[in-house]
Amino acid sequence: QVQLQESGPGLVKPSGTLSLTCGVSGDSISSNFWWTWVRQPPGKGLEWIGEIYHTGNTNYNPSLESRVAMSVDMSQNHFALKLTSVTAADTAVYYCARGPRVASRDPPDYWGQGTLVTVSS
């Protein structure tokens, strides 16, 4: 069974950097999937942040591209998200997910439980 688990600070100061890690079990980060980040502000809808492949190839949401960086650590079987220059508008539950499969248009299938990150001084 594939499982994902987000981890990282739950509170980040304005203008700081949000850093999260997604640990993967039941699959290898070097398998034939992209690995995705999605966020959801409290009481609002879902926003795709971007995706990364184990080779380091990335696709980012243009609305966030100037502030986002994703990375993969195959030795730890996890992938990471960094979001710089955060404001209160970045307060959200952040989810990591597996998918899509390479060369497919399958949607992300397995998701982490999500972690709330609050931007506040």
Partner 1 sequence: DIQLTQSPSSLSASVGDRVTFTCRASQSLNIYLNWYQQKPGKAPKLLISAASNLRIGVPSRFSGSGSGTDFTLTISSLQPEDFATYYCQQSYSTLITFGQGTRLDIK
Interface with partner 1 by CB under 8 A: which range of 10-18, 24-32, 76-84, 95-103?
A: 95-103
Shortest spacing between CB 76 and partner 1, in angstroms:
22
**For residue 48, which of 64, 32, 33, 34 has the smallest C-alpha distance?**
64
Residue ranges of alpha helices (H) inside the chain are none
* Residues 49 and 82 sit within 8 Å (Cβ to Cβ): no
Which one of 45, 55, 103, 120 is in contact with partner 1 (CB under 8 A)? Answer: 45
User: Around Cβ 65, how many Cβ atoms within 10 Å?
Assistant: 13
User: If binding is defined by CB under 8 A, does position 62 make contact with partner 1?
Assistant: yes
Side-chain half-sphere of 79: how many Cα atoms within 13 Å? 31
Cα–Cα distance for residue pair 58/84, rounded to 1 Å:
17
Shortest spacing between CB 62 and partner 1, in angstroms:
7
User: If binding is defined by CB under 8 A, does position 70 make contact with partner 1?
Assistant: no
Cα–Cα distance for residue pair 39/58, rounded to 1 Å:
17
Shortest spacing between CB 48 and partner 1, in angstroms:
4
Indicate the residue among 45 and 75 with the shorter CB distance to partner 1: 45
Number of residues that bind partner 1 (CB under 8 A): 21
Residues near partner 1 (CB under 8 A): 36, 38, 45-48, 59, 61-62, 95, 97, 100, 105-109, 111-114
